Structure 1
Amino acid sequence: MKKIIALMMAVALVLSLSACFMPGANNNSDSTSDQANAADISTYDKDFDGLVKYIKDRDSKYVKMDIYYDILGADNGARIDLNKNAFVEIYDFSSADSATADSADTAKAKEILNAVRENGKFKPIEDGVELTAAITDSGKYVIAWDASRGFDYTGKVVTDELKENW
């Protein structure tokens, strides 16, 4: 009797494990959640806070930190740690073209925006790490990350869809 029960349990285990790896099974929950998030993108405000919230909502393991955005001439900034190796920094340069902005801040902001447009990179501080970056289509927001640390993971967050919508 014990052998029959052990055999039935072994068969049940094999069947349950094989169901997880069947070719037709949906083993990629990331694509499903990305599609759900893509469908919901219209519900986010198209401002800095909406952009930060969208990235945060795409990854439940985030840690948001305020950063020193003002030394870059930005209006606002946030760093979101996505996992141990990957992060995204978001800078708001909404007033970079404003005539009323402080000239030193505006000059630094334009320097960073030009560097990102020209080669897709910039250094937040002179002796710091060079960050890979993208500018949203509105030209207001810079999304930056260290490509040497978790680029594939970060690349899933920084998508063309995100850039097009902000």
Structure 2
Amino acid sequence: MKIYQLAKEIEQDEADGGMSGETFTDYWPSKLSIGHPHPDPIVETSSLSAVQPPEPTYNPKIMDKLESLKILSCLQIETLVYACQRHLQHIQSGARAGFFIGDGAGVGKGRTIAGLIWENWQHGRKKALWISVGSDLKYDARRDLDDMGASCIE
């Protein structure tokens, strides 16, 4: 089935009162209550909202700075905590475990990544590889690192 046909069917289903409207629910961190509210409304799929996230156990070294600068929202801090918590683990090969940030446009992945790099820097892990689709985003990355207080990172 072609994408166009599928889109038309979904559109018709919504027009007929189908369940497409119940696909997404508002998102708010359920296990962390730190940071200021995110400036924009965020949603997640209803199926994902039915799954509880793990207990956060990681306490970032940069938390005081994050709270005083108010540079990351509660959603971005939640991602930072879970990513750092995952980075404490090693996979079978001995390499440090990774973390995928699949947020949509406008959630602030750049700020979150800058926070992750800065947090790792505080632990002596001074290598980071930031890959982006466009070379013009390097200016945004620099801005995010500077705003984070990490202007010493080149």
TM normalised by structure 1 equals 0.26
More RCO (CA 8 Å, sep 6+): 2
TM normalised by structure 2 equals 0.28
Pair member with larger Rg: 1
Which protein has the bigger helix share? 1
